[in-house]
Amino acid sequence: MVDKVKKIWLDGKFVDWDQANVHVLTHTLHYGLGAFEGIRCYAQDDGRGAVFRLREHVERLFKSAHIVTIPMDKWTIDEIVEACLETIRVNDLTECYLRPLVFMGDGAMGLAATENPTRLAIVAWKWGAYLGPEGLEKGIRAKVSSFTRPGINMVMAKGKIVGHYVNSILAKREVMTAGYDEAILLDAQGYVSEASGENIFVVRDGKVATPPFAASILGGITRDTCLTLMREMGIEVEERMISRDELYIADEIFMCGTAAEVTPVREVDDRTVGDGKRGPVSKRVQDRYFQVVRGTEVPHPEWLAHV
């Protein structure tokens, strides 16, 4: 259950948590045309909060809307960046998760509904480790889902689009019911694409690989952060296709996303990955990631938006 906070930003105004309601004819509720973000704010060593890569997330929100032709002319990127920070401030939060959601309001019920208003909500709440604190330390058990990631011209994977997430939910529920922690999805050709809400990295023979941006994946901001940090640490990393059985012969696998942060995978399809523990490369990347989001090390000051 999400713990209530005081206020939610809705269409430019703060409303009480319990008043942030919409009409049942809200278009997005029926057809899934909407875009959203998941962002984290971390307590820094000085006690203040800082939102990690806030501007990139807001930019992606606008791009997601653009991809699916949702008009975003009511607000600028700067205004939404500021609204996100303000949402944290009014709720007296330091460490939290932020969920901006763009949705189509009510009006017409036809599919096109080009005249329906674009609406935008920003909600903040406290959210711990998405795949559990034990998962961060010991690694999680993943399973390749029987559900395929839709092809690159079936859904627009570069957008974080509301309706696209049914595919992720089906995969996640399927593997959780079978007792696993997270689902890995293959693309229509059978190559590894990503997990239900994370990008994926494989370490083999000292080299790291992740599917390329053009694959059927979300262009994760954590993925980009990990790529940047690994290159800065001198870890060899390439963006290329990965086959299912390469997962089975990997020395290490880790997943990354804003919610899941950097989570090692200790088992895939009932096969132990490496020696079944968080591997050394995964640990280096994870340690570095937490240093950077918490401001212990600040190699990229532009990545931190102080509350």
- The DSSP element (H or E) to which 82 belongs, if any, is helix 77-90
x/- letters, 27..66, toward ligand PMP (CB under 6 A) = -----------x----------------------------
Catalytic (active site) residue 160: yes
Q: How far is the CB of 98 from ligand PMP (least distance, A)?
A: 11
Q: How far is the CB of 112 from ligand PMP (least distance, A)?
A: 26
Q: Residue 102: which of 81, 78, 77, 72 has the closest Cα?
A: 72
Considering only 145, 258, 263, 282, the residue that binds ligand PMP (CB under 6 A) is: 258
Chain centroid to CA 88: 19
Could you say which residues in the range 67-126 bind ligand PMP, by CB under 6 A?
none
182 binds ligand PMP (CB under 6 A): no
Q: How far is the CB of 106 from ligand PMP (least distance, A)?
A: 27
Residues 16, 284: Cα–Cα separation, whole Å: 42
Residues 239, 225: Cα–Cα separation, whole Å: 14
Query: 């060593």: which residue's tokens?
Result: 45
Task: Evaluate whether 283 touches 261 at the Cβ level (below 8 Å).
Answer: no
Number of residues located near ligand PMP, criterion CB under 6 A: 14
Task: Evaluate whether 294 touches 45 at the Cβ level (below 8 Å).
Answer: yes
Nearer to ligand PMP, 145 or 199 (CB): 199
Report the C-alpha dihedral over residues 90, 94, 99, 100, rounded to 10 degrees: 50
Q: How far is the CB of 56 from ligand PMP (least distance, A)?
A: 8
Catalytic residue among 6, 63, 126, 160: 160
Residue ranges that bind ligand PMP, judged by CB under 6 A: 38, 160, 168, 194, 197-199, 218, 220-223, 257-258
The set of catalytic residues is 160
